[in-house]
Chains A and B, each alone.
Chain A
């Protein structure tokens, strides 16, 4: 026995922790998104990557500026601003002026997070809030999509518009599969939808890779599988019913699942733990509600894409859902609350 004892700490139990931490969860999500980002860059070229960078820069800048100095290391280190910027960037049109993407990133973090008190306190998904703001603010720029498969290093002049200046589009805009469906009742080739060779934003095109990323997250236990499953379930049921009623007018369930931002939203955004219900039952309600709203807005509403609004609306209802879906406490029979 040594003469003097080691200096003992008095950390309370439990001493053991499971391996995952908040930053590592965020990192996992970013990793899961990377294949889709790479594929998107392949289809849309360098410009998509620049848009992504601008939105991440905007998000990180605001996060950095509004975090008290002593907390900055943590706030930047927890990867959450990076993830928000990335998710936002993946929903933007590839030829969006960079300054708009930057403003979007700033709004996402500023309005979506800082004002609420930082990570974990916000009730709305920051990335989607940033996108909703951009869509409301710059409706034309946000709905001008470019076609995939142009030269990799082509930088359209709209991309480099000066701050506060309107972009000038030099290429003919391409419609997204959803736009084609909404305004011209035209379907799109399913294979293209699957691999992502369609018009749209960087992250919403390649359904296959998004699903793969989602499976990775599920395997890593980083995501509540109930939410995407519930969203898909509700959307498939609702759209199948409509499709059976009038297949010429309404899109089928497969189209609904693989077009637009459905997968990106269902797998990566609706599952944001901060803004989705805590309880498993709540997660089901949240998912089913979002799935119904997506189809409602897509089919009967004014916008071709409803994923963003569906999730934001369900975010708004999350406190209520959480309140009424508290689990039944062990040993307390039918008593709820």
Chain B
């Protein structure tokens, strides 16, 4: 396997924006929408995912030479499932209230395609250092997306952020936002916004380029 030139910073940064797993690659949707009805839930879920992704990337990257190709997917799943179970019990022990809210969705981190995808596409092929940077970037991007979505939904849906009231007593909450349709609609609109920004940015760059040529 040919190793391409790696730039640690680039591997780290790409996951946050350019290759953001949620906004750009549209991966890991299930937890994304199910638990982002409040910023707190989103953060807990995001951190759990962060832990699982980084830990399993580290593990798999370190073991990449010992893992037989034929059973690699099964091994990845076993490794990921182990870390998920660890996270599950840890949250249950330390944050019982949050665990009650997140319910069945913590075990479902196992089937988050983003995690398995990173193992297959990156961690199993590149040195540990880059694998971890990549995982941190991706998981960071995921966490960022979760937080963004969770905040929007919580602010509109209950008028609070991390349970802190923002608008005073008279605020009329937009209940839909914390219900399932709100999840779909908010993410859809955020993606729409993303498309718009990308388009405007492209237009702007184009304009700058033509202006330069004109000079």
A residues adjacent to B (C-beta < 8 A): 97, 100, 111, 133, 136-139, 141, 161-162, 164-167
Q: B179 touching A136 by the CB < 8 A rule?
A: yes
Q: A138 touching B175 by the CB < 8 A rule?
A: yes
Which of B41-49, B78-86, B140-148, B166-174 touches A?
B166-174
Tell me which residues across on chain B come within 8 A of A133, comparing CB atoms.
Answer: 176
Q: A138 touching B179 by the CB < 8 A rule?
A: no
- Can you list 16 residue pairs at the A/B interface with Cβ under 8 Å? A97-B172, A111-B185, A136-B176, A136-B179, A136-B181, A136-B182, A137-B175, A137-B176, A138-B172, A164-B171, A165-B170, A165-B171, A165-B172, A166-B170, A166-B171, A166-B172
Give CA–CA (A140, B164) in the complex, Å.
23
Enumerate B173-201 residues with CB–CB distance to A below 8 Å.
174-177, 179, 181-182, 185
Tell me which residues across on chain A come within 8 A of B177, comparing CB atoms.
Answer: 137
B residues adjacent to A (C-beta < 8 A): 167, 170-172, 174-177, 179, 181-182, 185
Give CA–CA (A229, B40) in the complex, Å.
51
Give CA–CA (A115, B80) in the complex, Å.
40
Give CA–CA (A100, B176) in the complex, Å.
14
Residue of B nearest to A166 (CB): B172
Residue of A nearest to B170 (CB): A165
Tell me which residues across on chain B come within 8 A of A161, comparing CB atoms.
Answer: 172
Give CA–CA (A97, B177) in the complex, Å.
19
Residue of A nearest to B192 (CB): A115
Tell me which residues across on chain B come within 8 A of A162, comparing CB atoms.
Answer: 170
Would you give the shortest CB distance from B189 to chain A, in whole angstroms? 9
Give CA–CA (A161, B171) in the complex, Å.
11
Tell me which residues across on chain B come within 8 A of A166, comparing CB atoms.
Answer: 170-172
Give CA–CA (A166, B173) in the complex, Å.
8
Q: B171 touching A137 by the CB < 8 A rule?
A: no
Tell me which residues across on chain A come within 8 A of B170, comparing CB atoms.
Answer: 162, 165-166
Tell me which residues across on chain A come within 8 A of B172, comparing CB atoms.
Answer: 97, 100, 138, 141, 161, 164-167
Give CA–CA (A244, B177) in the complex, Å.
42
Residue of A nearest to B159 (CB): A164
Would you give the shortest CB distance from A263 to chain B, in whole angstroms? 27
Tell me which residues across on chain B come within 8 A of A167, comparing CB atoms.
Answer: 172
Would you give the shortest CB distance from B167 to chain A, in whole angstroms? 7
Would you give the shortest CB distance from A54 to chain B, in whole angstroms? 15
Give CA–CA (A100, B170) in the complex, Å.
14
Interface centre among B170, B171, B172, B176, by most A CB within 10 Å? B172
